[in-house]
Structure 1
Amino acid sequence: MSGFFSKKPTVEQQLRQNERVMKKQQRDVDRDRGKLEKEEKKIEMEIKKAAKQGNKQAATILAKQLVALRKQKTKTYAVNSKIGAIGNQQKLMHSNMKMANAMGTTTKTMVQMNKVMDPQKTMKTMQEFEKESMKMGMTEEMIDDTLDDILGESGDEEEQDAIVSQVLDEIGIEITGKMVNAPSAHGGKLGESSKAKGATDDEIEKQLAALKDL
């Protein structure tokens, strides 16, 4: 009855048990090989003895026994190699089972996370975030526009450009889109234009200073 209710061994326990069994088998095979090697040396000595005595028939029979014994010894090496390969294969299977179990545990964890995380709720949260972000951006833009109105910053660049052009024209500087014809510090055009307009250097400096204050 106790055997009926005995607990089934775990994979690790079964693995250790199998390793013990295979190691015992390898030791038994090694022990048999040792006996065969002793018998091999014994037969070799008997062959030499028969050869010295000129007993060709006995030497031939012993030689056949030696060949068969050596074949059997070679088989013991093959058996041990096979047992070792089975042990390695068992370890690989156990490693694969561990990886499969790890993947199974990870899958269960992801399933639980998916149950906890409601995709529709998450999507709704993201939509609300986007909506509120847009509101915040619109509010910021409205506040900026209001402050510009209060502070008188209309942003009328064309009007500002017209004032600048007018002042520059008054002081005798002819400008284009890229200031190609603007006078250099030593070019002489500024002096010639100023003389044509009858403006002095001091007056030009004052007008430039007034332009900065606009």
Structure 2
Amino acid sequence: MGKSQFDPAGHKLIPWNAGRMVGAKRPLKQRDLWAICFYLDEHYRWRDRALFDLALDCKLPACDLVRFITGDVVAAGSNRNRANVIQQKARKPVQFELGKEVRESLLAWLTCRGGSIDDFAFPSRIDRAGHMSTRQYSRLVDEWVGAIGLDVRDYGTHSLRRTKAALIYKATGNLRAVQILLGHTKIETTVRYLGVDIDDALTLSERTEI
């Protein structure tokens, strides 16, 4: 139960966002990606490198990323070139590519991790049979960006989801393709993710044929 704004106690309430930086988190730049990869490789963080690479390629929310099972990325004893998963919130299938680097980092981690194709690729630190929590993933992202000198308040798990989409849009201007890759139903959602002006976005979309 809350307090009334007319009560004396209500005058002492502090807004939840007082002093905090809120809003969309920034995507990482190319040099930031290289720096994080170097940091993880230097410290032999195979799990974190695989998780980082997969987060960039799959462009999925944290709640979907941590639920990956080994069978989602491995088939017939080798890594898949593409994967298809159902988003937990949207309940829609999203297909994405698995580049060479993510396949290599996943192979290194899953070889070390062991288990079967039905196991979670990134197990919980508390329960090996369960998957990593979104909170643990968020703390890892804070550690990665902090390790290369970035302000952790400016970045988060959504930064990794936005990064490749932002790079694709910057290189091609193809907003519709980015919308498909992110699994967004409405183009306005993609616009907010990329920070593109709505009029420019719609113009680009109208000129783009899939």
TM-score normalised by the chain length of structure 2? 0.16
TM-score, normalised via structure 1 length: 0.16
Which is richer in helix? Answer: 1
Structure possessing the higher relative contact order (Cα contacts under 8 Å, 6 or more residues apart): 2
**Of the two, which has the highest radius of gyration?**
1
